[in-house]
């Protein structure tokens, strides 16, 4: 198995594990949300001007997406700028050919 295939397999295994963990966590949270909600007070009026929790989460997820998109664009520009170096790093040189000298044969 080559390196990229191994890396992709590890990534796939990671997401498989995350999905296995997420399902019981969501199920557990859903099961206990209603009983816990009885003990959570209503939102106080002084918090009325503050964003709702769902709005904050949505905002942060949009920010995360934007941040990641910006980083992808930056890395792509950087890779393009580094093209001369990357071309050498990505090119596998042929192994040097060993040339025996006639003098070496005569000495033996």
Average pLDDT in the chain: 91
Do residues 86 and 79 make contact, with C-beta atoms less than 8 angstroms apart? yes
Tens of pLDDT, residues 9-28: 999 999 999 999 999 999 99
Q: How confident is the model at residue 108 (pLDDT cuts 50, 70, 90)?
A: low
Tens of pLDDT, residues 55-95: 999 999 999 999 999 999 999 999 999 999 988 888 887 87
Helix axis angle, 53-81 relative to 83-90, nearest 10°? 80
Residue whose C-alpha is closest to residue 23's, from 34, 33, 31? 31
Do residues 51 and 59 make contact, with C-beta atoms less than 8 angstroms apart? yes
CA distances from 98 to 70, 82, 94, 101 (A): 49, 33, 12, 10
Q: How confident is the model at residue 103 (pLDDT cuts 50, 70, 90)?
A: low
């Amino acid at each position: 198995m080559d390196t990229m295939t191994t890396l992709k397999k590890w990534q796939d295994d990671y997401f498989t594990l995350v999905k296995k963990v997420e399902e019981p966590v969501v199920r557990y949270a859903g099961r206990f949300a209603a009983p816990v909600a009885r003990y959570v007070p209503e939102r106080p009026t002084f918090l009325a001007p503050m964003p709702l929790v769902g709005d904050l989460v949505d905002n942060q997820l949009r920010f995360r997406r934007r941040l990641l998109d910006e980083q992808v664009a930056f890395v792509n520009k950087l890779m393009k700028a580094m093209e001369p170096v990357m071309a050498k790093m990505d090119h596998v040189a042929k192994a040097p050919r060993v040339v025996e000298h006639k003098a070496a044969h005569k000495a033996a």
